C-alpha cells in the first residue's frame, strides 16, 4: 500500500504523528445496479495516516504484537472506527495505520483550501483537522492549568472567528476605567472575502475590548470553572 499513497505530515505529539494523504488506488466500494452488485474502487481518496513506532526487520517479529497490533486494537475499540489497512513509510520504515479523514464529509471547495493539508476547508478559511492544532502551539500563559483550559477550547473550535486565545498583556493598550477598557493591538479574528484569494484569515487590529479582573485569591481552577459554564 505504501507506493500508492502520497502523504503530508500535519501534526505530531509524543505518542504518534498524524498525516493527511491521498490514496491513489482509493477505497473499496460496492455499487448496486438493477440486477447485480459490483466492486468499484474510488481512486484518489483522502485519508489520514497514524504513524506507528519504527521497527526494523529484526525487531518486527519480536515486537509486532506489543506495538503494531496493540495500537491497531486501541484504534479499533473507538466507537465507529474504520481502518482501511496498513502501510509503510519508505523513508523512515515506520508503519502506519490508514484511516478515514474524519472531516471529509464537511469539506467544501467553497470554503477555500487549507494551507497545511492542502484539502478543502471545513468552514470559511478554517480546517477542522489542522487549524485548531496549529492554534494550540507555540504559546503559554505561564500557568499549566490556564494553558490546558484554553487549549481544550481551541481544539474543539469549528470557526476561525470563534477561537479563544491567550492574549499577552503587552498587546493591550490604553487600559483605563473601572471596567478596564483597552485597545487590543492584534485585534479580533475575522474572515475576509478577498476578490482574488477567496476566504482568508485576517484580523481587525486595534480593537476596543473590556477586561474582567479576577481577584488574586482566585486560583486557576476557579478560572477554569468560570469559563466552562
Together in a domain, 124 and 93 = no
Contact 147, 141 (CB under 8 A): yes
Q: Which of 87, 102, 117 is the last residue of a domain?
A: 102
Strand locations in 2-155 (E): 5-12, 17-23, 30-32, 37-39, 45-54, 85-88, 94-100
Q: How many structural domains does the chain have?
A: 2
The predicted model scores a pTM of 0.75
What is the side-by-side strand order in the sheet with 181-184?
Answer: 172-176, 181-184, 207-210
Together in a domain, 19 and 76 = yes
Together in a domain, 220 and 115 = yes
Together in a domain, 180 and 81 = no
Together in a domain, 132 and 222 = yes
Together in a domain, 93 and 141 = no
Structural domain span for residue 88: 2-102
Together in a domain, 27 and 136 = no
Q: Which of 49, 73, 102 is the last residue of a domain?
A: 102
pLDDT tens digits, one per residue of 60-118 = 545 555 666 777 777 777 757 788 888 888 777 777 888 889 898 999 999 999 998 88
Give the span between the Cα atoms of 219 and 215, in whole angstroms: 9
Q: Which of 102, 118, 145 is the last residue of a domain?
A: 102
Together in a domain, 110 and 204 = yes
pLDDT tens digits, one per residue of 138-155 = 999 998 888 988 998 999
Amino acid at each position: 500500500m505504501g507506493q500508492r499513497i502520497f502523504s503530508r505530515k500535519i501534526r505530531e505529539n509524543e505518542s504518534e504523528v498524524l498525516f493527511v494523504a491521498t490514496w491513489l488506488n482509493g477505497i473499496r466500494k460496492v455499487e448496486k445496479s438493477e440486477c447485480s452488485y459490483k466492486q468499484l474502487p474510488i481512486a484518489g481518496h483522502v485519508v489520514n495516516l497514524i504513524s506507528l513506532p519504527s521497527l526494523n526487520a529484526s525487531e518486527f517479529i519480536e515486537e509486532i504484537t506489543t506495538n503494531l497490533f496493540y495500537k491497531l486494537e486501541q484504534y479499533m475499540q473507538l466507537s465507529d472506527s474504520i481502518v482501511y489497512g496498513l502501510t509503510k513509510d519508505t523513508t523512515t520504515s515506520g508503519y502506519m495505520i490508514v484511516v478515514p479523514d474524519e472531516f471529509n464529509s464537511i469539506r467544501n471547495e467553497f470554503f477555500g483550501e487549507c494551507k497545511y493539508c492542502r484539502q478543502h476547508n471545513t468552514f470559511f478559511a478554517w480546517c477542522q483537522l489542522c487549524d485548531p492544532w496549529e492554534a494550540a502551539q507555540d504559546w503559554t500563559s505561564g500557568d499549566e492549568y490556564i494553558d490546558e483550559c484554553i487549549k481544550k477550547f481551541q481544539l474543539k473550535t469549528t470557526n476561525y472567528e470563534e477561537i479563544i486565545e491567550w492574549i499577552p498583556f503587552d498587546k493591550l493598550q490604553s487600559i483605563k476605567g473601572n471596567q478596564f477598557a483597552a485597545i487590543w493591538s492584534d485585534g479580533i479574528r475575522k474572515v475576509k472575502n478577498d476578490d482574488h484569494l477567496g476566504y482568508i484569515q485576517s484580523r481587525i487590529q486595534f480593537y476596543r475590548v473590556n477586561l474582567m479582573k479576577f481577584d488574586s485569591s482566585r486560583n486557576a481552577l476557579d478560572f477554569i470553572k468560570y469559563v466552562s459554564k
